[in-house]
């Protein structure tokens, strides 16, 4: 599956996604973006630059100004007025997704290399109940790195959560339940934000695997959209 198709498969049609597998022909950065990687090593600078290039291509496709996307609080991207979005990068994959705020209130995406997390990581990012669910799913679909999927989905949850709250959300603050049909639900264990007059108590998302990459995505639709 092509990288854009892979990322788009976990998002609704109201969200525009762009993805690249390499850092060729990326950039240049805007001055307001440059400060975020002024002292970064070359690999970090390259992935950041390609992520911002993907973001501008996505903004242009959406019909929004393809302008700078500087780094804001907690290193979250700062999008043009009226736009929500998310950026991700991992080894061999960079992507961005954007939508109009009138249709989607928040977006969270994450990409990971599709293999098991390092020893000890799962115990840090999951609860005993979540690990029991992963054991069951592993027996049903041993071809999926469910521990990596859980990690990625919680990253997407945080990216969708932060623009709505401006607050930190730990791995232990959401109980994740993935399913073999390519979906997942994250039930918040802390007070959720009020969006369009309704308290958000959970996030629903999708996951997909292709070309050795695992992607997860969340798009919180505007009420009535």
Please name which of 18, 184, 13, 185 lies closest in space to residue 103, comparing C-alpha atoms: 13
* Nearest alpha-carbon partner for 55 in 18, 92, 109, 9: 18
| Per-residue model confidence (pLDDT) at position 123 | 97
pLDDT of residue 25: 87
Instruction: Give the chain's mean pLDDT.
Output: 97
Bridge partner list, 204: 185
> 79: pLDDT confidence band, cut at 50, 70 and 90?
very high
Q: Give the pLDDT confidence of 126-162 residue by residue, as tens digits.
A: 999 999 999 999 999 999 999 999 999 999 999 999 9
Helix, strand, coil percent values for the chain (each to nearest 5): 35, 30, 35
Residue 224 has pLDDT above 90, yes or no: no
Q: How far apart are CA 35 and CA 41, in angstroms?
A: 13
Domain assignment of residue 216, given as a range: 1-225
CA–CA gap between residue 23 and residue 34 (Å, rounded) = 16
Quick check: 170 pLDDT over 80? yes
Structure tokens given for 173: 């603050």
Give the pLDDT mean for 164-173.
Answer: 97
pLDDT of residue 26: 87
> What pLDDT is stored for residue 27 in this prediction?
85
CA distance 45 to 184: 32
Q: Is residue 225 predicted with pLDDT exceeding 80?
A: no
CA dist., res. 32 & res. 27, Å (int): 13
How many folded domains does the chain comprise? Answer: 1
- What's the pLDDT tens digit per position in 18-68? 999 999 988 899 999 999 999 999 999 999 999 999 999 999 999 999 999
pTM of this structure? 0.97
- How confident is the model over 180-205, as pLDDT tens digits? 999 999 999 999 999 999 999 999 99
N-term to C-term CA, the chain: 29
């Amino acid at each position: 599956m092509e990288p854009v198709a892979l990322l788009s498969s976990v998002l609704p049609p109201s969200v525009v996604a762009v993805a690249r597998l390499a850092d060729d022909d990326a950039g240049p950065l805007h001055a307001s973006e440059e400060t975020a990687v002024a002292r970064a090593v070359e690999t970090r600078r390259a992935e950041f630059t390609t992520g911002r290039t993907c973001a501008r291509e996505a903004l242009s496709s959406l019909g929004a100004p393809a302008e700078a996307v500087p780094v804001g609080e907690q290193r979250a991207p700062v999008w043009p007025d009226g736009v929500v979005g998310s950026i991700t990068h991992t080894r061999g994959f960079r992507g961005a997704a954007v939508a109009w705020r009138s249709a989607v209130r928040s977006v969270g995406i994450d990409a990971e290399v599709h293999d098991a997390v390092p020893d000890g990581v799962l115990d840090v990012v999951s609860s005993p109940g979540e690990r029991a669910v992963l054991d069951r799913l592993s027996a049903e679909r041993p071809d999926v790195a469910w521990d990596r999927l859980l990690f990625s989905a919680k990253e997407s949850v945080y990216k969708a959560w932060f623009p709505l709250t401006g607050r930190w959300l730990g791995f232990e603050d959401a109980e994740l339940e993935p399913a073999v049909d390519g979906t997942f639900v994250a039930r918040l264990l802390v007070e959720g934000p009020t969006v369009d007059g309704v308290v958000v108590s959970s996030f629903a998302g999708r996951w997909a695997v292709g070309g050795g990459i695992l992607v997860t995505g969340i798009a919180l639709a505007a009420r009535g959209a």
